[in-house]
Amino acid sequence: MKIARSNFGNTPEGNEVELFTLSNDNQVTVKITNYGAIITSIETPDQNGKTENIACGFEKFETYVSPEYLGSYPYFGCICGRVCNRIAKGKFTLEGKEYTLAVNNGSNHLHGGLIGYDRSLFKTELIEESERIGVKLSYLSPDMEEGYPGNLQLSCTYTLNNSNELVMEYDAETDQTTIVNLTNHTYFNLTGGKDQILNHELEIPATKYTESVGNVPTGKINSVKDTVFDFLTRKKLGTDIEGLEDGYDLNFVLDNTDGKLIFAGRLCEETSGRKVEVFTTKPGIQLYTGYWIPELMIDGQKKFGRFSGVALETQHYPDSINEPHFPSIILKPGQKFYEKTVYKFGTK
């Protein structure tokens, strides 16, 4: 296994951006930048040994900050926070005080606000061990950044091993009571981007989902039985998608209240033979089939667009702070936030 470090460009403010390339002994290569803790590429072999990038991302840093990309922003590969997903109307009450956040998704707050962790520059520390290689990405989120209380010291550690596992570990501590819900927003396309993801087969071991209106939970938790949201038995993403206005974009309940590392999903694609298995300590997983991914012109070629990738975002439920019966996302001084997610790559 080996890790390489290189220059990836400069932010509009002139700060250097780095790119880290992790390679194991089985032709799996993961590229990560300290801008937004973004996973820019995941190369894995197909059933014939051909290696391709199975993650939506860009080869040039400039594309991540281009107006074309940010104008219809799909959050490729980044860390979303301080609170990922949606907070209804951008408001919540914590210890008797009401907080107002930016409204950047219709009438709601999404993925941390106008400038979330997805556009922050992280400090870096290399990890080179016998069983794994990786990078620890750290960031101090100051009190009231994007409206959130408390100075939050957080880190995301990405490591790769020879079991073809990309391990993501999230740590955080605060000096004031605050709320935290972090996820990685990588989109997968197991064909290497040659086809849409509608023929990908998905299995999610969840018997329930959080009902939502306008992508915000109503508070009800419903059974997947006899609905298009039933992925207990593996099926193609396109099988029932026509009846959904914007495709799939919902949170599944994993019944993981103890924070154990559990199986959370399996994505497969027949022509390549590739598969990705997901394991997490988190209580939920958001399935998003990329209806709003923009079609971009990159180096004279049209790329991406609707259904060009599928995100499997491990998380706490959306709008948890406004639904007291949902698993809590409150973090207090003296407490340590820790979550772990594993994406394991292979072939059928």
- Contact criterion met (CB below 8 Å) for 256 and 281: yes
Res. 257 pLDDT band, cuts 50 70 90 = confident
With 0-12 CB in 10 A as exposed, 13-18 as middle and 19+ as buried, what is 211? middle
Q: What is the mean pLDDT of residues 316-343?
A: 98
- Contact criterion met (CB below 8 Å) for 2 and 127: no
Beta bridge partners of 7: 18
Tens digit of each residue's pLDDT (9 = 90 or more) over 288-300: 999 999 999 999 9
Q: Is 36 left (phi over 0), alpha (psi -120 to 50) or beta?
A: left
Tens digit of each residue's pLDDT (9 = 90 or more) over 96-137: 999 999 999 999 999 999 999 999 999 999 999 999 999 999
State yes or no: is 211 an active-site residue: no
Q: pLDDT at position 210, please? A: 98
Distances 272 to 41, 94, 187, 192, 311 between C-alpha atoms, Å: 17, 48, 17, 9, 19
Tens digit of each residue's pLDDT (9 = 90 or more) over 207-255: 999 999 999 999 999 999 999 999 999 999 999 999 999 999 999 999 9
Mean pLDDT of the chain: 98
Rounded CA-CA distance 201/221 in Å is: 25
Sign of torsion over alpha carbons 254, 81, 216, 244: negative
Name the active-site residue from 146, 165, 201, 313: 313
Rounded CA-CA distance 219/324 in Å is: 9
| Percentage of residues in the chain having pLDDT higher than 90 | 99
Which contacts of 39-43 are long-range, i.e. CB under 8 A and separated by 24 or more positions? 39/77, 39/158, 39/166, 39/184, 39/186, 40/77, 42/166, 42/186, 42/188, 42/345
Tens digit of each residue's pLDDT (9 = 90 or more) over 46-93: 999 999 999 999 999 999 999 999 999 999 999 999 999 999 999 999
Rounded CA-CA distance 78/185 in Å is: 5
Rounded CA-CA distance 171/85 in Å is: 19
The number of domains in the chain is 1
Q: Tell me the pTM.
A: 0.98
| Percentage of residues in the chain having pLDDT higher than 70 | 100
Length of the chain: 348
Tokens of 172: 């955080």
Tens digit of each residue's pLDDT (9 = 90 or more) over 266-310: 999 999 999 999 999 999 999 999 999 999 999 999 999 999 999
The domain in which residue 186 lies consists of: 2-347
Name the active-site residue from 109, 111, 185, 316: 185
CATH code, 143: 2.70.98.10
State yes or no: is 185 an active-site residue: yes
State the DSSP string of 244-291: SBTB-EEEEE---TT---EEEEEEE-TTT-EEEEEEESSSEEEEE--T
Q: pLDDT at position 25, please? A: 98
Which contacts of 136-142 are long-range, i.e. CB under 8 A and separated by 24 or more positions? 137/32, 137/34, 137/37, 137/79, 141/81, 141/82, 141/117
Distances 168 to 54, 115, 186, 275 between C-alpha atoms, Å: 17, 22, 12, 18
Rounded CA-CA distance 228/249 in Å is: 12
Q: What is the mean pLDDT of residues 301-329?
A: 98
